Amino acid sequence: MSENNVLLRVQNLKKYFPIVGGLLGRQIGAVKAVDGISFDIKRGETLGMVGESGCGKSTAGRAILQLHQPTSGKVFFEDKDLTQMSGEDIRQLRPKMQMIFQDPYATLNPRHSVGKIIGEPLVIHGIMKKGSSELKDRVVELLELVGMDPVYMRRFPHEFSGGQRQRIGIARSLSLDPSFIVCDEPISALDVSIQAQVVNLMQDLQEQLDVAYLFIAHDLSMVKHISHRIVVMYLGKVMELTERNTLFENPLHPYTQSLNSAVPIPDPKSEQKRRRFILKGDPPSPANPPSGCVFHTRCPLTEEKCITVEPEFREIHPGHFVACHLADEKGSSMIPEQTILASVMS
Amino acid sequence: MSNILEVNNLVTKFYTLDGVVNAVNGVSFDLEEGETLAIVGESGSGKSVTMMSLLGLIPMPPGKIEAGAAFFSGDEGRRDLLQMSPDELRDVRGGQIGFVFQDPISTLNPILTIGEQISEILTRHKGMSKDAARRRAIELLTQVGIPDPELRYKAFPFQFSGGMRQRVVIAIAIACTPKIIIADEPTTALDVTVQAQIVDLFKRLREALGVAVIWITHDLGVVAGVAERVLVMYGGRPVEIALVNDLYEHPQHPYTLGLLGALPRMDARESERLVSIKGTPPDLLLPLRHCPFAWRCEHAFDRCWQEIPPLITVGEQHQTSCFYDLEEGGPRDV
């Protein structure tokens, strides 16, 4: 993928939610859900986004699609800045940017037939007429695309299992032939054997349709499986961004290292001999983030500088970005073996 | 080592307006003293209902335990949990059998301090005085890794994070030095770094207390790290029981094989296509007349549609309920 192949560029995107309080309901603070994130997504690429709950990954996905009005920052989609566009202009662009949600139960209207759900975007955007045979053909085509029998178009959402509902949600998002889909935890609500079906389907569709995904999930092993590159978020900020294999073989941020080591591997032999580094404590609140590096309260390597100065998000190797004072070309922010052992003993 | 729990042919059904839900259709397993047994299955596999049945926590009606026995070797000798009166069971629950559920916020009482909730167990089961219970509760909070235990004793559940709340629930579970802890998806609601903390805590407590653990989960990754033996369930039936290494290296049931193939490996460089199991989990409203997995199984042959496969011993401490021999590639002679 070449440089000029960038489909979406996010620059210093911020989304704060006001906290109101007191008798007059004045703003007394802000939850910094997304606090200055930057990255690119290329055409046909899957960018994975991982982080723990409350790190702002879902908000980031919505702010990119302008479903949340960003507080500041820019989002360029095909070189057009979405944050400067009017609502109507964004609506014109919507067909190109779609979303798949976590809960397939809540995202399908229970009173609409599957055919109506999948065809509705086409009608709303005036591409096809309601009740036309053309529309019906397209719905049949979409159902077949996601591996469902077209006879299901007359049925209603409650007649389907979770995995099938997620397929319906995917078919709907594909109806307008998008070039970019934000997938917000698309498989978290599904059983393991069904997760694999949906992930395989998403990969097949990407190959056929050349669509780019922003794949948001907390399951690091699944994100690694599906993504080309991965963004690691913590408390509204990007900690590290790089190719999937680099992220697992040469992670430069201590947070990435601890995430890697916390993910269980489904193999007892590797589990038994694995070096584990277990982070202490819980993530702090995004309403009151720590000074300096937001990770310093849980980082085993914290130095004076980390508490006072916020690290810059910089490119250490080509395509490998990290926000850590201690990372350099040699990758010296590696958590030393002794720390790992000590934390296991404690 | 002797068995602390022996479950034989447990059958639990729910009589609902839609029909009879066959939640558990004949589950048998043993638990040795001090061992960790993982029960793995997807939603609707009957793994939680099995445990709830043993503890008398099934709402009746609509639930009904139709058959089976569960012999627990507790302080009063070997007794069948399913034959105990509600009062006797209440003494066992929280005392000799502790438990930890998925969601710590709904397990804890929101209007009592966590200290009161831990002390309550101790005064109820151990007959401790208020003062002694308080001292023991603070000890327990220290043991499960809660900082400033004396201060936190007076805190309410909402003042804790998810991981800390789960530690409190664990403190309650171990308060009366139980023989068994039943943990139903104890880390599912937690973030991965916090999950690692709780898994680590469990391992340390198990060593310190010598308590047997039944760990119910859908996550084969966590199982690989915590369990000694694994019971895989599907459609309310046990499909495979094996030692953990055996199960991952030589799965003998097509469902186990499928589940393992459906998981991506963090340590794999190239991502291979995931093996997906076609179809969807079984409809428990249909009475079981054949192998519950036959619908989705690529190896299913005539016999699989005619009888319910029993657990067949295929190796040392390794049983599977499948008529098809995956390693030989043909039907088994049984």
The answer to whether residue B43 neighbours chain A at the CB level (below 8 Å) is yes
- The answer to whether A265 contacts B266, with C-beta atoms less than 8 Å apart, is yes
State percent of chain B over pLDDT 90.
31
For residues B145 and B239, the model is more confident at B239
pLDDT at residue A99, rounded to an integer: 92
Bridge partners (DSSP) of residue B156 are none
Closest CA to A36 of A87, A85, A73: A73
Q: Are residues B50 and B193 in the same domain?
A: yes
Q: Which residues of A touch B275 (CB under 8 A)?
A: 196
Residues A263 and B221: beta-carbon distance below 8 Å: yes
Q: Are residues B58 and B126 in the same domain?
A: no
SS3 A19: strand
Domains in chain A (CATH in brackets) are: 44-67+87-232 (3.40.50.300), 245-346 (no CATH)
For residue A174, with 0-12 CB atoms within 10 Å meaning exposed, 13-18 middle and 19 or more buried, which class applies? buried
For residues B276 and B252, the model is more confident at B252
Q: What is the band of A294 on the pLDDT scale with cuts at 50, 70, 90?
A: very high
Q: What is the band of A61 on the pLDDT scale with cuts at 50, 70, 90?
A: very high
Query: Which residue in chain B has the smallest CA separation from A245?
Result: B269
Q: Are residues B23 and B38 in the same domain?
A: yes
The average confidence (pLDDT) of chain B is 88
| Domain boundary residue, one of B146, B175, B204 | B175
- The answer to whether A278 contacts B196, with C-beta atoms less than 8 Å apart, is yes
Q: Are residues B256 and B213 in the same domain?
A: yes
- The answer to whether A260 contacts B193, with C-beta atoms less than 8 Å apart, is no
Q: Are residues B299 and B279 in the same domain?
A: yes
Q: Which of B191, B264, B273 sits opposite A218 (nearest CB)?
A: B191
Q: How far is B279 from chain A (nearest CA, A)?
A: 8
Q: Are residues B155 and B136 in the same domain?
A: yes
State percent of chain A over pLDDT 70.
94
Question: Best of A193, A198, A225, A260 to disrupt the B interface by mutation (most B CBs within 10 Å)?
Answer: A193
Q: Which of A259, A264, A280 sits opposite B222 (nearest CB)?
A: A264
- The answer to whether A222 contacts B223, with C-beta atoms less than 8 Å apart, is no
The average confidence (pLDDT) of chain A is 87
**In the predicted structure, residue A227 carries a pLDDT above the cut 90:** yes
> Which distant-in-sequence residues (6+ apart) come within 8 Å of B33 by Cβ?
B1, B2, B3, B4, B179, B210, B212
pLDDT at residue A341, rounded to an integer: 41
Average pLDDT of span A79-94: 90
For residues A19 and A215, the model is more confident at A215
pLDDT at residue B195, rounded to an integer: 85
**In the predicted structure, residue A44 carries a pLDDT above the cut 70:** yes
Q: Are residues B170 and B185 in the same domain?
A: no
Average pLDDT of span B296-325: 89
Q: Which of A199, A272, A278 sits opposite B197 (nearest CB)?
A: A278
**Range(s) of the domain holding residue B289:** 3-96+176-266+273-331
Query: Which residue in chain B has the smallest CA separation from A221?
Result: B266
The answer to whether residue A282 neighbours chain B at the CB level (below 8 Å) is yes
Average pLDDT of span A165-181: 91
pLDDT at residue A2, rounded to an integer: 45
Question: Best of B37, B191, B223 to disrupt the A interface by mutation (most A CBs within 10 Å)?
Answer: B191
The answer to whether residue A268 neighbours chain B at the CB level (below 8 Å) is yes
| Domain boundary residue, one of B134, B160, B175 | B175
**In the predicted structure, residue B196 carries a pLDDT above the cut 80:** yes
Q: What is the band of A342 on the pLDDT scale with cuts at 50, 70, 90?
A: very low
CA triplet A310, A312, A318: central angle to 5 degrees?
155
Q: Are residues B307 and B290 in the same domain?
A: yes
- The answer to whether A283 contacts B191, with C-beta atoms less than 8 Å apart, is yes
- The answer to whether B276 contacts A196, with C-beta atoms less than 8 Å apart, is yes
Average pLDDT of span B29-57: 90
pLDDT per residue as tens digits for the range B85-121: 888 888 888 889 998 888 888 889 999 999 999 999 8
Q: Are residues B143 and B228 in the same domain?
A: no
Bridge partners (DSSP) of residue B223 are none
**In the predicted structure, residue A171 carries a pLDDT above the cut 50:** yes
pLDDT at residue A343, rounded to an integer: 43
Q: Are residues B209 and B305 in the same domain?
A: yes
Give residue B217's Cα distance to chain centre. Answer: 6
The answer to whether residue A192 neighbours chain B at the CB level (below 8 Å) is yes
Specify the range with the lowest mean pLDDT, choosing from A126-140, A237-251, A270-284.
A270-284
pLDDT per residue as tens digits for the range B16-32: 888 888 889 989 999 99
pLDDT at residue A331, rounded to an integer: 55
Q: What is the band of A286 on the pLDDT scale with cuts at 50, 70, 90?
A: confident
pLDDT at residue A337, rounded to an integer: 52
Give the full edge-to-edge strand order of the sheet including A97-100: A97-100, A180-184, A212-216, A46-50, A229-234, A237-243, A320-322, A314-317
Which residues 193-252 of A are in CB contact (within 8 Å) with B? 193-197, 199-200, 203, 218, 220-222, 224-226, 245, 248-249
Which residues 158-177 of A are in CB contact (within 8 Å) with B? 161, 163-164
Q: How far is B324 from chain A (nearest CA, A)?
A: 20
What is the rounded distance in angstroms from the CA atom of residue B143 to the CA atom of residue B122?
16
- Name residue, tokens 């022996």: B6
pLDDT at residue A271, rounded to an integer: 81
pLDDT at residue A336, rounded to an integer: 57
pLDDT at residue A54, rounded to an integer: 81
The answer to whether residue B162 neighbours chain A at the CB level (below 8 Å) is yes
pLDDT at residue A188, rounded to an integer: 83
- The answer to whether A197 contacts B278, with C-beta atoms less than 8 Å apart, is yes
Interface predicted TM-score (ipTM) of this complex, two decimals: 0.79
What is the rounded distance in angstroms from the CA atom of residue B220 to the CA atom of residue B251?
13
pLDDT at residue B1, rounded to an integer: 63
- The answer to whether B221 contacts A195, with C-beta atoms less than 8 Å apart, is no
Domain count, chain B: 2
Q: Are residues B195 and B320 in the same domain?
A: yes
Q: How far is B249 from chain A (nearest CA, A)?
A: 8
How large is the angle between the packed helices A192-209 and A162-174, nearest 10 degrees? Answer: 20
**Cα Rg of chain B, angstroms:** 21
Q: How far is A255 from chain B (nearest CA, A)?
A: 10
Q: Are residues B181 and B142 in the same domain?
A: no
pLDDT at residue A117, rounded to an integer: 93
pLDDT at residue A280, rounded to an integer: 80
- The answer to whether B248 contacts A261, with C-beta atoms less than 8 Å apart, is no
pLDDT at residue A71, rounded to an integer: 93
Q: How far apart are the two ends of chain A, measured CA to CA in Å?
A: 46
**In the predicted structure, residue A233 carries a pLDDT above the cut 90:** yes
Closest CA to B80 of B98, B95, B92: B92
The answer to whether residue B161 neighbours chain A at the CB level (below 8 Å) is yes
For residues A332 and B206, the model is more confident at B206
Residue B175: Cβ within 10 Å count:
26
Tell whether pTM > 0.90: no
CATH of residue B278: 3.40.50.300
| Domain boundary residue, one of B160, B175, B190 | B175
Residue A108: Cβ within 10 Å count:
22
pLDDT at residue A329, rounded to an integer: 58
